[in-house]
Structure formats: structure tokens, C-alpha cells
């Protein structure tokens, strides 16, 4: 589509053929795939028309730490910027395209003001005021002006201080303050210039201060400041008062008096006539001024088109648009294209939308953020979800910001396409930019999240709905409860009503049913998120532990407090247990230890464990729990020390304890300790587990230190064909220190060291694909014959292998097969 001009014809046919493929999926082939790729690239080229330096400046302003002036100074200093003057500052500020860029503009304005040798002028102040006013940030302008007044004229030597104040309050929609300041200026013998008078006059017209308007017009004429902007504002004032006939007489009087009009005066009257549904009068007026040949009417034509569109006369607007282009070479502005495109999109007239996009390109009309939003909506309505998502993800490259309509269409299209994850991600992006979805979008996304069993995302969406005051309907709740059941998370159904769940828990116990730790945990975690959480927690504890001398309820509450990361509450329950004469069991000690660790209080956990150990109560279960949790919290050093202490105490660590510690030591690149642990494990008379063997093989693919550690350990062992020498040989083969001609031989060697599992086969497949695709395919067949069911990682490895060897057709077939296989498997699981 949107390549250099000499390729326009080719691009038009390219985009058209692509749309045909979209409408007829069966015709999709490798050629349409190439078309699809070129289309994405072309669209990005079309939008990427901005000055790259300006784009980079805004990227820095948007991404650097907002609290660090030094970071911003350093980032901008790294660019090759032109000399900082009024012209350059205005150039940057004029590139604002959306509300999302207002804050970066303020940061740039502040940065420029801090630079040595530069002082803000009235022009730069006016520019920042207009940016803020355009995005309805009036309160920010007022704060700005109050600060400006406090600092005084000495602080801004190049800004006409009083003029800037008057202009600022006028732009901020506070003409009464602007008039007061203007009166003080006149009292002190000061006056506004032409620019200041016309800004003030415009503000008075906008706020309907018509008596003051007439006074300011007289002042302008007395000082000889009258120009075309004066005539524009007089016309605007008459139209705003509903004096349309008087405005028409005024304009014809100017023409009869030999005054040159510039078209914007006529545009204002045309707009007012359209808003009053006087379309016939408006078209007659445009025709009369056009026939005179004295008034340039390009802007008026655009206003007329806009008026017809908003008046529901889209076909007339399109006919007028085509007629003027054909007869008079009229090139409409970007805003007029956007107006037509949006209305056509609303009516699903997509072929005409496409024609307008092409017309924009052929006439070299540069797109803006509104055009991007229209393109996003067009892709969504056309079912081109990948292209829509690609354009959305590229938005930061072009300083473009999606609007509410674009966000809505993209979320709905992604939901229709079944891409719940991306839809939820787009929703979160829209919230970050203060766009709140409507009920339809919320309901559709909720249903898709429930269908895909994305429970955590659905819970977050429900919380957001309550925040937005969107009340989900009954079917949404039904779908969510069904999804919770399918996901095996029935307990979550009560998460938002902890008080009800607590009463049900007490009733369950009273009726003789056992309170399970999982159920107790989910109810208590909910209670701890409510008001008066501590009192609710202990109130429920008293009701459940009443006349119960068993440690079981105490353990449930310690466990729940630990999961809620409330170690202090867990300790209170632990103390109550001992105070009530109930001896803590090894389970109670483990739960208390876990509560400290889950709460991130490792130091308290160490003290607790040392106390238990000094009393001779440190059991194998407690040691295992402590070591495993230290590993999971990324603390391998203390975990390794306590592991060795456990061995010294004559306790044999569990298999899981060995596996988790070896894994964490390898993650920390402490391969010698990891290999020594594996050696200790084998000395206990245990056969190497698949998990331990796979860790060593996997790590050997990235670091030679694993093999070096194995060789060093083998060197201190007796000579011969030991199990360890065989394992070190296999590790060396994975590291390519030893040559194994066929992957099947390596497979047999591994089987002598430890049982192969699906993860081992994945590692072997990755290695096989690097050398011989035939061996890789044979290995896959052997794996299936031995009863291993390929998982998604296996399929991914096969697809990557085929693509690496240039076999794209096979890769695509395998990819489709994997999607079909796992779709069927999920269905069987649901049934």
C-alpha cells in the first residue's frame, strides 16, 4: 500500500489483492503471505513521516524518570540538538498529536527553561497554553499562571510579562481575569500588541462576553490593529449570537468594499448554517462566493463537507468531495479525510474507506493519530486482527495514541479472534490512558476470559468493573462461576464475601464436616483483606477452636496467616497453641517456619529454626522445608549450609530437597557444589533422577563449567567404567567435548545414567536438530513409540528445527498439528 509514489499503482493492487484474500481465506497462499508482510511494512512507512529527531525527543520525554531532571538532561544532551531558541522550542511543541503527549510537552518546556542562555518568550508560553487548553487541562494553566505571577517579570526577561498573563488567562477560558489584568495594564500606561488583542477578543467571543467584544473591537480599530483575524472574530461573534443573516451581510460588505477575504471567514458562517440545519442556504453561500472568484474556498469546502457529514448527509458530502476534486483540483485537508473515513467506518462502508486511504496517499496527505485510529478500526472491521495488533504495538514509534473507539474495536476483534490474553493486555493499556470500556466491551471480554479459564485476569477485571461502577450481569457471574469450577477453584467463588464464607465454615464444622486447610486458607485470606481484619481473624479462630484441644485448627490458621504473608498473626496462633497446653507437632513447626519465609522474614525464620534446633526438635521434615524454601526465595548460600548441617545431624534429605538445591546452585553458576551434591546423592544408594540428570545436561549446553566439574570429580574417583564416568561422558557429549556419531547412541548412554522423560527428549531433539534433521525426526518417532506424548515444547522444538533447515511448509504443518492436538486435548480435559 503506502510505499514511495512511483509504486502507488503497484501498492494499490497489492492492498486490493490482500483484501480479497481476507474475504476468501481459502485462497491464502505464499504470495498472499508475502503481500501481508509488505502491507505491514508499507503502513509503518506511511505513518513514519515525522522528523526522527522530534520523535526521539518525545520518546525520551515519555520514558525517562519523571522525578529525575538529571536523567532527562543526560538523555537529551546525548542527542545532536540544534541551537536552543524560540523557533526550535515551538517546532517541538507543535508536534503534539494527542493528550498522551501533553506531559512530555510540559517536561520539554520545563527543560528548555532550565537551559543556560535560553529564556521563554511570549510565543513559547502561548504555545504551551494552547496545548493545555486543547486537552482541557485548564487547571494546569491556572497553576502555571499563578506561579508565573509570583515570580514576576524579572524571572522572564524575554516574555512580555503582562501580555503573557492576559493571553494565558484568555486561553484558559478565564476572560474576566484577563480583562482585569488588561485594565491594570492600561492604568499603568501599558498596552497589548496585535496578537494579544486578538487572543483576548477570541476568548471573549468564546465565553459570550459580547459587550466587552464590541469594546475590544473598537480599541483594535482605534490602534490600527484591524486585520483578517479581526474580520474572522467579528463573523464568529455574530454567528455565536445567532445573527447569521447579519454575518452574511457583513461578509458581502467586505467583498463589495474591496477587502480581501481568506476563506476562514466564510467557513465560520458555513459551519453555523450547517449547525442550524440551513444546508441549502450554506450551499448557495458557498456557490456565490465561489463564483465571485475573490475568496479562496478550500477551507470552506472542508467545513461544508464536515457539516454535511454531521448532519447525516454522508452521500451528499462524498458527491461534493468527488465533484470538487475532479472539477477544481480541490485537495481536502487531513481533518476532512478523517471525518469522512470515520463516518464511513461507522456505516461499515469499508471499500470506500479503503479508497479514501489510497487517495490520501496519492495526494501526499500525511496521516496523524486520528488516521491511525481509523486504520486500526478498519483492520478490525475487516478481520485483519494481526495487522491491527501490529499497528497498535508500533504506536510509540510514531507518537500515536489510540482513542476510545480504536481501543474498543481492537478489544472486541481480539475477543472474536479468541486472543483473550492480548485483549486483556490492550484493555490494561486503555486504562493506563484513562479510557474506560463500555458495558458491551466489558461483557464480551469477560465472557472470553471465562471461556479460556483465565481466572486471575477475570478476577482483576471484576475488581476494575466495581471501580468503574459497571455492574456485571447475571450471565457474566454464571460464566465466571462455571470457569472457576472447570479450573478447580471453586473456593474462589466466595472470595468477595469473606464474612459469608466464614459463617459457612463455622456451620460446616458444627455439622461434623472436616474443615480442610485449603478451604480455611482461602476464607481467611479473604477476611484479612477486609476491614477490621485482625478482629475477624481471631473471632473466627475462637469459634472454630472452641472446645477443641487438637492442633489441627491451629495448624490451619498458622498456614492461612502464612499464605496471607501475615507472620505476626501466625506467631500469635502458635503462642496460643502453647499457652493452651497443646504441644506443637512437626507439622506445626514447619507451617510456622513457612509463614516467616512466605512473609519475606528470612532472619526471623533463621532465629526460629535455630531455637527449634537447639531444643532438639529439628526433624527431617523441618530441615527439608527450610532448605527448599530458602532455595525458592533465591538464597542458595544458607540453603547449602543447612543442607550440610542436616547431613551432619544424620538426617537424609528428601529427593525434592536435593533436586531444588542442585537447581538453585546451577542457577547461581555454582556448578562444583551442584556436582558434589549429585555425587552425595548417588552415594546414598539412590539412582539419579530424571530431574537431576536433565539439570546437568541443560546447564552443560550453556556453560563448560558443568563438564569441568564432572571431570574434576571423576579424577578423584577410581578408574574404570563407573556410572559417574558415564554421566560425565554424556555431559561432555552435550558440550561437544566428546563426539557421538548418532543421537540414538547418546540416548542409550543417558538411559544407563537416569530414566529419560519428556524433558530429556526435548533436550536431545534440540541437540539433534543442530546436526542432522533425519536423526531428529527418527528420535521423535522413537519417543512416540515408547509411549511419550509430545507436549507443546516438543512441537515447538520440531517447528523451530524445520524452519532452521528452510522447510517452512513442514514447519507450518507441524504448527497446525500442534494447535489441533492441544485444542482436542483441552476439550477432553474439560469433558
pLDDT tens-digit readout, 419-437: 889 999 999 888 877 788 8
The verdict on 779 and 801 lying in the same domain is: yes
**CB-CB neighbours of 306 under 10 Å:** 22
The answer, yes or no, to whether residue 14 has pLDDT greater than 50, is: no
Q: Which carries the bigger pLDDT value, residue 757 or residue 362? A: 757
Task: State residue 201's pLDDT score.
Answer: 92
What are the two backbone dihedrals, phi and then psi, of residue 686, each rounded to the nearest 5 degrees? Answer: -100, 145
Helices (H), 49-93: 52-63, 69-77, 86-93
Joined together, the cell numbers standing for residue 527 give 477476611
Task: State residue 366's pLDDT score.
Answer: 78
pLDDT in tens, 731-774: 877 766 566 667 788 888 888 888 888 888 888 888 888 777 88
Task: State residue 706's pLDDT score.
Answer: 84
CA 351 to chain centre: 31
Q: What is the 3-state secondary structure (H, E, C) of 355-419?
A: HHHHHHHHCCCCCCHHHHHHHHHHHHHCCCHHHHHHHHHCHHHHCCCCCHHHHHHHHHHHHHCCC
| Closest by Cα among 292, 375, 279, 385 to 46 | 375
Helix axes 161-171, 122-134, angle to 10 degrees: 10
The answer, yes or no, to whether residue 481 has pLDDT greater than 70, is: no
Q: Which carries the bigger pLDDT value, residue 14 or residue 817? A: 817
| Angle, vertex CA 424, rays to CA 422 and CA 430, nearest 5 | 105
pLDDT in tens, 175-184: 898 898 888 8
How much is the mean pLDDT over the chain? Answer: 78
> What's the pLDDT band for 24 if we cut at 50, 70, 90?
very low
> What's the pLDDT band for 461 if we cut at 50, 70, 90?
confident
Task: State residue 431's pLDDT score.
Answer: 84
The verdict on 507 and 596 lying in the same domain is: yes
Whose cell is 540416548? That residue is: 747
d(CA 402, CA 742): 55
Helix axes 773-785, 743-753, angle to 10 degrees: 40
> What's the pLDDT band for 66 if we cut at 50, 70, 90?
low
pLDDT in tens, 437-457: 888 888 899 989 988 888 888
> Residue 159: CB partners within 8 Å, gap ≥ 6?
119, 120, 121, 122, 124, 125
The verdict on 792 and 828 lying in the same domain is: yes
Joined together, the cell numbers standing for residue 632 give 525458592
The verdict on 721 and 686 lying in the same domain is: yes
> What's the pLDDT band for 477 if we cut at 50, 70, 90?
low
d(CA 457, CA 428): 11
Task: State residue 489's pLDDT score.
Answer: 66
- Least confident span in 223-237, 280-294, 687-701: 280-294
Task: DSSP for 189-221, please give it.
Answer: T----HHHHHHHHHHHHHTT-HHHHHHHHHHHH
d(CA 678, CA 659): 9
Residue 101 included in any domain: yes
Q: For CA atoms 101, 106, 112, 114, give the dihedral sign.
A: negative
Task: State residue 500's pLDDT score.
Answer: 56
The answer, yes or no, to whether residue 622 has pLDDT greater than 80, is: yes
| Closest by Cα among 327, 320, 325, 317 to 349 | 317
| Closest by Cα among 288, 259, 262, 284 to 273 | 284
Our count of domains for the chain comes to: 5
Task: State residue 367's pLDDT score.
Answer: 81
pLDDT in tens, 637-650: 888 888 888 888 88
Residue 136 included in any domain: no
Q: Which carries the bigger pLDDT value, residue 786 or residue 69? A: 786
* Distances in whole angstroms, Cα of residue 652 to Cα of each of 247, 645, 725: 98, 11, 25
Helices (H), 243-278: 244-256, 264-275
Q: Please give the average per-residue pLDDT across 341-357, as a whole number.
A: 87
The verdict on 495 and 595 lying in the same domain is: yes
| Angle, vertex CA 395, rays to CA 394 and CA 396, nearest 5 | 95
Q: Which carries the bigger pLDDT value, residue 482 or residue 224? A: 224
Joined together, the cell numbers standing for residue 689 give 533422577
Q: Please give the average per-residue pLDDT across 341-352, as a whole number.
A: 87
The verdict on 528 and 582 lying in the same domain is: yes
Residue 384 included in any domain: no
The verdict on 499 and 563 lying in the same domain is: yes
> 118, 138, 153 — which closes off a domain?
118
Residue 575 included in any domain: yes
The verdict on 685 and 784 lying in the same domain is: no
Helix axes 161-171, 138-151, angle to 10 degrees: 160
Cα-based torsion angle of the residue sequence 481, 484, 485, 489 in order, rounded to the nearest 10 degrees: -130
Long-range contacts of 499-502 (CB under 8 A, 24+ apart): 499/527, 499/530, 499/536, 501/526, 502/527, 502/536, 502/540
The answer, yes or no, to whether residue 558 has pLDDT greater than 60, is: yes
The answer, yes or no, to whether residue 831 has pLDDT greater than 50, is: no
d(CA 423, CA 408): 10
Joined together, the cell numbers standing for residue 323 give 465533484
> 583, 600, 617 — which closes off a domain?
600
Q: Which of 110-124, 580-594, 723-737 has the highest mean pLDDT?
A: 580-594
d(CA 246, CA 257): 16
Q: Indicate the SS3 state at residue 611.
A: helix
Q: Please give the average per-residue pLDDT across 595-599, as a whole number.
A: 85
pLDDT in tens, 111-123: 887 888 787 787 8
Total count of residues recorded for the chain: 831
Whose cell is 553458576? That residue is: 669
Helix axes 636-648, 602-614, angle to 10 degrees: 10
Q: Indicate the SS3 state at residue 806.
A: coil
The verdict on 506 and 596 lying in the same domain is: yes
The answer to whether 362 and 15 have CB atoms below 8 angstroms apart is: no
Q: What CATH number corresponds to the domain at position 592? A: 1.20.970
> What's the pLDDT band for 293 if we cut at 50, 70, 90?
low
Task: State residue 728's pLDDT score.
Answer: 79
Task: State residue 16's pLDDT score.
Answer: 43
d(CA 79, CA 56): 9
Residue 77 included in any domain: yes
The answer to whether 502 and 536 have CB atoms below 8 angstroms apart is: yes
Please state the pTM of the whole predicted model: 0.50
Task: State residue 491's pLDDT score.
Answer: 54
The verdict on 542 and 577 lying in the same domain is: yes
- Least confident span in 614-618, 711-715, 773-777: 711-715
pLDDT in tens, 394-412: 776 766 678 888 889 899 9
The verdict on 517 and 547 lying in the same domain is: yes
The verdict on 539 and 583 lying in the same domain is: yes
Helices (H), 227-368: 228-240, 244-256, 264-275, 279-292, 298-310, 314-328, 334-346, 350-362
The answer to whether 386 and 422 have CB atoms below 8 angstroms apart is: no
Domain of residue 701 covers 681-756
Residue 708 included in any domain: yes
Q: Please give the average per-residue pLDDT across 342-350, as a whole number.
A: 87
pLDDT in tens, 629-639: 888 888 888 88
> 547, 575, 600 — which closes off a domain?
600
Residue 668 included in any domain: no
- Least confident span in 9-18, 136-145, 364-373: 9-18
Joined together, the cell numbers standing for residue 22 give 481476507
Q: Which carries the bigger pLDDT value, residue 754 or residue 293? A: 754
Task: State residue 154's pLDDT score.
Answer: 54
Q: Please give the average per-residue pLDDT across 64-69, as a whole number.
A: 61
Q: What is the 3-state secondary structure (H, E, C) of 738-767?
A: CCCCCHHHHHHHHHHHCCCCHHHHHHHHHH
d(CA 94, CA 77): 21
Residue 666 included in any domain: no
The answer, yes or no, to whether residue 262 has pLDDT greater than 60, is: yes
d(CA 339, CA 346): 11
> What's the pLDDT band for 518 if we cut at 50, 70, 90?
confident
Q: What is the largest CA-CA distance in the chain?
A: 114
The answer to whether 592 and 608 have CB atoms below 8 angstroms apart is: yes
d(CA 189, CA 195): 18
Helix/strand number for the chain, H first, E second: 46, 0
Amino acid at each position: 500500500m503506502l510505499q514511495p509514489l512511483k509504486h502507488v499503482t503497484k501498492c494499490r493492487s497489492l492492498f486490493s489483492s490482500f483484501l480479497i484474500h481476507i474475504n476468501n481465506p481459502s485462497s491464502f497462499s505464499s504470495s498472499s503471505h508475502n503481500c501481508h508482510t509488505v502491507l505491514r511494512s508499507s503502513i509503518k512507512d506511511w505513518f513514519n513521516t515525522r522528523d526522527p529527531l522530534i520523535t526521539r525527543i518525545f520518546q525520551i520525554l515519555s520514558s525517562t524518570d519523571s522525578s529525575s531532571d538529571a536523567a532527562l538532561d543526560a538523555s537529551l544532551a546525548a542527542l545532536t540538538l540544534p541551537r536552543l531558541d524560540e523557533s526550535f522550542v515551538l517546532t517541538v511543541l507543535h508536534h503534539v498529536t494527542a493528550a498522551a503527549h501533553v506531559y512530555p510537552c510540559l517536561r520539554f518546556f520545563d527543560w528548555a527553561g532550565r537551559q543556560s542562555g535560553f529564556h521563554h518568550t511570549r510565543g513559547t508560553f502561548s504555545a504551551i497554553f494552547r496545548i493545555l487548553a486543547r486537552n482541557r487541562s485548564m487547571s494546569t494553566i491556572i497553576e502555571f499562571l499563578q506561579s508565573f505571577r509570583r515570580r514576576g517579570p524579572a524571572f522572564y526577561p524575554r516574555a512580555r510579562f503582562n501580555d503573557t498573563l492576559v493571553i494565558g488567562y484568555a486561553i484558559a477560558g478565564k476572560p474576566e481575569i484577563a480583562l482585569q489584568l488588561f485594565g491594570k495594564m492600561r492604568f499603568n500606561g501599558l498596552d497589548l500588541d496585535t496578537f494579544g488583542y486578538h487572543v483576548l477578543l477570541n476568548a471573549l467571543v468564546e465565553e459570550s462576553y459580547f459587550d466587552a467584544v464590541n469594546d475590544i473591537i473598537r480599541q483594535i480599530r482605534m490602534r490600527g490593529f484591524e486585520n483578517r483575524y479581526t474580520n474572522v472574530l467579528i463573523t464568529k461573534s455574530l454567528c455565536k449570537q445567532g445573527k447569521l443573516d447579519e454575518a452574511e451581510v457583513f461578509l458581502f460588505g467586505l467583498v463589495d468594499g474591496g477587502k480581501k477575504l481568506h476563506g476562514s471567514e466564510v467557513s465560520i458562517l458555513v459551519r453555523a448554517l450547517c449547525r442550524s440545519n440551513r444546508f441549502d442556504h450554506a450551499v448557495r453561500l458557498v456557490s456565490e462566493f465561489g463564483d465571485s472568484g475573490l475568496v479562496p474556498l478550500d477551507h470552506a469546502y472542508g467545513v461544508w463537507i464536515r457539516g454535511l457529514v454531521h448532519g447525516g448527509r454522508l452521500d451528499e458530502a462524498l458527491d461534493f468531495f468527488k465533484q470538487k476534486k475532479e472539477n477544481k483540483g480541490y485537495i481536502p485537508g487531513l481533518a476532512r479525510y478523517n471525518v469522512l473515513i470515520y463516518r464511513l467506518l461507522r456505516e461499515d462502508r469499508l471499500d470506500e474507506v479503503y479508497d479514501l486511504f489510497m487517495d490520501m496517499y496519492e495526494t501526499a496527505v500525511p496521516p496523524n493519530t486520528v488516521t491511525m485510529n481509523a486504520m486500526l478500526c478498519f483492520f478490525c472491521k475487516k478481520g485483519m486482527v494481526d495487522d491491527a495488533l501490529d499497528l497498535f504495538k508500533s504506536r510509540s514509534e510514531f507518537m500515536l495514541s489510540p482513542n476510545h473507539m480504536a481501543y474498543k474495536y481492537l478489544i472486541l476483534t481480539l475477543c472474536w479472534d479468541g486472543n483473550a490474553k492480548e485483549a486483556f493486555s490492550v484493555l490494561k493499556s486503555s486504562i493506563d490512558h484513562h479510557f474506560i470500556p463500555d458495558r458491551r466491551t466489558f461483557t464480551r471480554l469477560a465472557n472470553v476470559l471465562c471461556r479460556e479459564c483465565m481466572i486471575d485476569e477475570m478476577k482483576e477485571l471484576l475488581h476494575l468493573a466495581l471501580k468503574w461502577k459497571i455492574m456485571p450481569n447475571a450471565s457474566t457471574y454464571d460464566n465466571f462461576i462455571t470457569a472457576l469450577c472447570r479450573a478447580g477453584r471453586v473456593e474462589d467463588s466466595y472470595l468477595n464475601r469473606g464474612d459469608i464464607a466464614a459463617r459457612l465454615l463455622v456451620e460446616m464444622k458444627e455439622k461434623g464436616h472436616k474443615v480442610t486447610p485449603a478451604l480455611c486458607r482461602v476464607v481467611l485470606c479473604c477476611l484479612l483483606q477486609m476491614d477490621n481484619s485482625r478482629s475477624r481473624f481471631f473471632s473466627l479462630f475462637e469459634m472454630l477452636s472452641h472446645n477443641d484441644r487438637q492442633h489441627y485448627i491451629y495448624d490451619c490458621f498458622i498456614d492461612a496467616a502464612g499464605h496471607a504473608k501475615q507472620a505476626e498473626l501466625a506467631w500469635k496462633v502458635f503462642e496460643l497453641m502453647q499457652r493452651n497446653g497443646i504441644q506443637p507437632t512437626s507439622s506445626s513447626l514447619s507451617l510456622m517456619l513457612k509463614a516467616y519465609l512466605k512473609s519475606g522474614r528470612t532472619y526471623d525464620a533463621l532465629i526460629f529454626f535455630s531455637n527449634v534446633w537447639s531444643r532438639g526438635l529439628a526433624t527431617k521434615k523441618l530441615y527439608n522445608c527450610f532448605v527448599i524454601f530458602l532455595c525458592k526465595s533465591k538464597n542458595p548460600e544458607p540453603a547449602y549450609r543447612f543442607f550440610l548441617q542436616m547431613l551432619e545431624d544424620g538426617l537424609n534429605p528428601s529427593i525434592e530437597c536435593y533436586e531444588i538445591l542442585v537447581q538453585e546452585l546451577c542457577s547461581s553458576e555454582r556448578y562444583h557444589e551442584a556436582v558434589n551434591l549429585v555425587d552425595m546423592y548417588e552415594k546414598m544408594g539412590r539412582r539419579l533422577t530424571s530431574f537431576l540428570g536433565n539439570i546437568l545436561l541443560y546447564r552443560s549446553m550453556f556453560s563448560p563449567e558443568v563438564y569441568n566439574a564432572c571431570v574434576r570429580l571423576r579424577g578423584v574417583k577410581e578408574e574404570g567404567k563407573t556410572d559417574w564416568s558415564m554421566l560425565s561422558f554424556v555431559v561432555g557429549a552435550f558440550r561437544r567435548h566428546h563426539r557421538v556419531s548418532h543421537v540414538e547412541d547418546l540416548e542409550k548412554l543417558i538411559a544407563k545414567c537416569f530414566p529419560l522423560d519428556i524433558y530429556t527428549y526435548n533436550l536431545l531433539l534440540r541437540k539433534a536438530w543442530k546436526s542432522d534433521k533425519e536423526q531428529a525426526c527418527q528420535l521423535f518417532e522413537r519417543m512416540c513409540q515408547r509411549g511419550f506424548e509430545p507436549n507443546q515444547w516438543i512441537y515447538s522444538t520440531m517447528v523451530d528445527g524445520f524452519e532452521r533447515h528452510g522447510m517452512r511448509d513442514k514447519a507450518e504443518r507441524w504448527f497446525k498439528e500442534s494447535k489441533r492436538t492441544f485444542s482436542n486435548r483441552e476439550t477432553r480435559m474439560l469433558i
